[in-house]
Amino acid sequence: MVELRRDVALDDDGAIFAEYRLDLVRYATALVGPSEAEDVVMTVVGRTVRRVRLSELDNPKGYLLRGVLNEARGRGRRRKIVPLDHDLVGPNSHGLAEVLDVLMSLPVRQRAAIYMHYWERAPISEIADAMGVGPGTVKRYLHLARQKLKGVL
């Protein structure tokens, strides 16, 4: 995952948000789909800055990632599966639509673990910290997700 650049002033909440915004939106997109990703991120950031300054947090990115996960889980309870727009995949995708359908049908925590592990190349310990769970739990999420994906890969 991208670390905070040294040239960003740590006491400037706007700069901290600007540094992490794209990472947060990509993460939210993997969890809730592109139509709701920005809304999820802005909801989390808005709630956070009403309570605490980002510059006061020990790990603002981890805190915001956990908030995005929790917000995505809450939205997932209200609407079970995010529909996939197959027009975005394209006609020559060779099964990609089926893989994406399975990915989007995974529980949000499994989807989060898959995204962080394979797309962000984050180590298990970092994923565990961001999700607020133990490393063994992350390994279990990855195992369960792989089992479900095995049928389409």
pTM of the model: 0.72
Taking a C-beta distance cutoff of 8 angstroms, is the pair 141, 113 a contact? yes
Q: What is the pLDDT of residues 53-73, one digit of tens each?
A: 998 999 999 999 999 999 998
Residue 39: pLDDT over 90 = yes
Of the options 3.40.50.2300, 1.20.140.160, 1.20.950.20, 3.40.30.10, the CATH number for the domain spanning 13-83+90-150: 1.20.140.160
Letter string b/e over residues 19-38, b meaning 16 or more CB atoms within 10 A of that residue's CB: bbeebbbebbbbbbbeebbe
Look-up: residue for tokens 């399975």?
102
- Rounded-to-integer distance, Cα 42 and Cα 79, Å: 19
Q: What is the pLDDT of residues 117-149, one digit of tens each?
A: 988 899 999 999 989 899 999 999 999 999 988
Taking a C-beta distance cutoff of 8 angstroms, is the pair 41, 24 a contact? yes
The pLDDT of residue 78 is 52
Give the domain ranges of the chain. 13-83+90-150
Of 74 and 99, the structure prediction assigns the larger pLDDT to 74
One-character DSSP codes across the chain: -PPPPTTS-TT-HHHHHHHHHHHHHHHHHHHH-TTTHHHHHHHHHHHHHHHS-GGGSSSHHHHHHHHHHHHHHHHHHHSSSPPP-GGGT-TT-TTHHHHHHHHHHS-HHHHHHHIIIIIS---HHHHHHHHTS-HHHHHHHHHHHHHHHHTT-
In the structure encoding, which two tokens stand for residue 114, read together? 């898959």
